[in-house]
Each structure stands twice: as structure tokens, then as C-alpha cells.
Amino acid sequence: MKYRILGKTGYEVSSISMGCWGIGGQWGPIEEAQAIRTIEAAIEVGVNLFDTADSYGLGQSEFYTGKALQNKRDKVLIATKVGNWGRRVGDPVGLKTIHSIINCCHASLYRLGTDYIDLYQCHVGTPENPEIFVE
């Protein structure tokens, strides 16, 4: 596996990351054991960056990702996103204040079973209040 530095973060990441949308059950049911085996197989070939989101499977992807990485947290990077959950549950915006972002972050930390997220990204293209992302 080749590695490179992620932007200006200083993080050395695998050139290929694993997108975890599918383990959220977007294309059909997936068993927890299968999701965990998939992530473990990615680690075995050198993948160290895992990309998920709070909205993938309404949190299922973060939960499975966290379970798979729980004893490997110091060897991998987790990227997750905020901002699309509301669209999935009927709220077209979902993010209205900095507090809603903080609450979503705490929920992601809980589902991931970790106390930090390496890369936290905005998943929505046109927020109602763009200034909340600057805070």
C-alpha cells in the first residue's frame, strides 16, 4: 500500500481509503460480522483511513465501523460527516445551530465508540446558516 500526507493535517493515510456507506445497509441488509470482516480485510492490505457518516444507515455504518476498529484505534484514522441526517428523517436542513453540530458530533463519537474523530466533515452542500460551520 502506498501512503501520502492528507492535506495539511500531517496524517499519513493510505492512498486507498475504505468508504463505509455500504456497511450502513444502503444496498441491502448486512450482518455485523460481515461488516467487521470487511473492515478487517481492508486493514490487512494496508488501508488505514475509514470514511463514514452519521447518516449512513442512520448511524449503523458508524456503529459497525467503531466496533471493527475498537482495538485498532491508534493505527487507523476515522473520517465521518455531519449534515445529512436531517434529510433522511424528513428535516430538509437538519443543522440550524452550532449546538446541533456539537450534538451530532457527540452522537457520532458514541456510535464509533471513540473519544476523538480524526476528520469531521460537513456532509451537506447548502446549510441554512453557513456561519455555524465557521464557529
Catalytic residue among 3, 11, 56, 120: 56
**116 is an active site residue:** no
Q: Dihedral sign for Cα 21, 27, 31, 35, please.
A: negative
The residue among 120, 25, 90, 89 whose CA lies nearest residue 63 is 25
Detail the DSSP E strand segments found in 9-123. 12-14, 18-19, 49-51, 77-82, 119-122
Catalytic residue IDs = 56
